[in-house]
Structure 1
Amino acid sequence: MIHSGYSRSSTLELLKFSDDLPSLPDRFVKIQKVVQDPNSDASDLASVIRSDQATTAMILKFANSPAYNPTHTPVGELSAAIARIGLRETVHIATAMSLMYGMILPTGMANIRCFWGHAFAVAMVCEKMAHAVDPDQQRCSHERAFMTGLLHDIGRAALGMRVDFTYFERETGHLHQDALIQAEEEIYGVNHAEAGMQLLRLWLFPDDIFTAVGEHHRPDSTHFLGSICYQANLFCNTHLSDRIPFDAVHDAVQQAIIEHPFDLSVFAD
């Protein structure tokens, strides 16, 4: 048993204390408003993205990568990059970037990139798994699956920002799966899945998303999104490095899926 100054009750008190609750980044909120507005278009999205140089540069980098530019015809304008990548993929990249640069985690930039790179990979796999299992979106929208994957580890951010500023410098910053859950529960009395569920509930996210985040380490989850997120997280931890550069995540996920096709039998009713 790891002894620390934390208990389950003290950790939960810190997590639910909302006077200085971490807030969603402003750019994340703006992107979601554009996505949810039926009258918005690519130009509205571009206007939000242009306000951030790092996101703009990343969109251009994706658009000029071999995956999207097989003819080696470079583009230098954001509008052309969005047209080449597609609106959906652009939203995904911009949303992930808004979290990576908008949430101030108490750790070095290398750890932050790894953290959000993993989240982006799990989000991509969640969406692809949901499409494979539920192509008609009768059980969940594929966009919901992507968002669940992107936010599945948000409880780690909550623990690092609200409970223990040394969270990412401890062993917890480098563990995965059962080892991570065990270490968190020994140190804090609470694991990051539960912490993430609580934070997303306070942020007024839909029930199915925060429930899935709360169950994403449960192999026996009967919640569809929770099961998808568990399998996607396991897939990424098994088949992908946890130090993939953000701009290489897309290609790495595609290659991993080719080499290790999904076992859809785990989703059989």
Structure 2
Amino acid sequence: MESGVLWRRQNLVRVRLLLFGLIFLWGGVSVQAMERGADGEFDQRHSSHFILYQDVDIDQTSGFHGSRRFEQRVLEVLESAYLQLDGRLGLRPPGPIEVIVYDPVVFQQRFAGLFRFPAAGFYGGQVHIRGDTQLTPALSRVLSHELVHVAMASEVSDYGLPGWFNEGVAEWFEARVVGQRKLSVQERVFLQSAAKSGQLFSLQELSAPAFGAFGPSAAQLAYLESYAFITYLAREYSEVRLREWIREMARTRNIERSSRRVFKVELSRLEERFIDELVAGGR
């Protein structure tokens, strides 16, 4: 696939890492011990379930476009997503959850070497986010997405979740938080083309805990295919069943068994049906 093919995110291809040891690559230091950033220091603000540190280069502190307003809105998005975690996924991670929003330049300088292409966020004990000077829709979705990884880690920290499950559920959740239930026309056309040309990954090929080793084009397809598979399950079997499946997975640590119990069919058969629908040009 060419790297210029339309991607469902129009800003950055995002790598999500749940490799907990990875945080030690940059020392695993606390925010307090980090180097000073764009504004000279990390501002801190608390909410019911989160501790937010932000280092975005915002010119003013007060006012509608000030840093305090930015921090409040980020926490509002996080708390809203937190409330939806249990209802949609059956997950409720313990707090406080540390979220660090960096100035984009600082984020790039500090973490660019960890990825094969630009990243907008990742989780490694703390949520690390490439920030902006305002709360954009893209930033809101990244926050929701990474919160799923926090929840997954708290539920199954001793089990390496397959990347397609981990990333697919996170992509689906961030879409549902903003009211999106299905793939866009462009996304579906992209996947149908990949399916008909035999370029889709198998779930087995997407079973590594993260897609961090994928190049840009492969990661683009891996994220979208994972998201599409979870969307397919939610549509065909209901969001209630999807939640039950996720909870069963967290309980048993066994995707095959969880799929048989909840969907009454083997995971391999679910995969076949999903691909058949794509090839046929279905919904």
Fold match (TM-score > 0.5) = no
TM-score normalised to the size of structure 2?
0.32
Greater helix fraction, Structure 1 or Structure 2: 1
Q: TM-score, normalised by structure 1?
A: 0.34
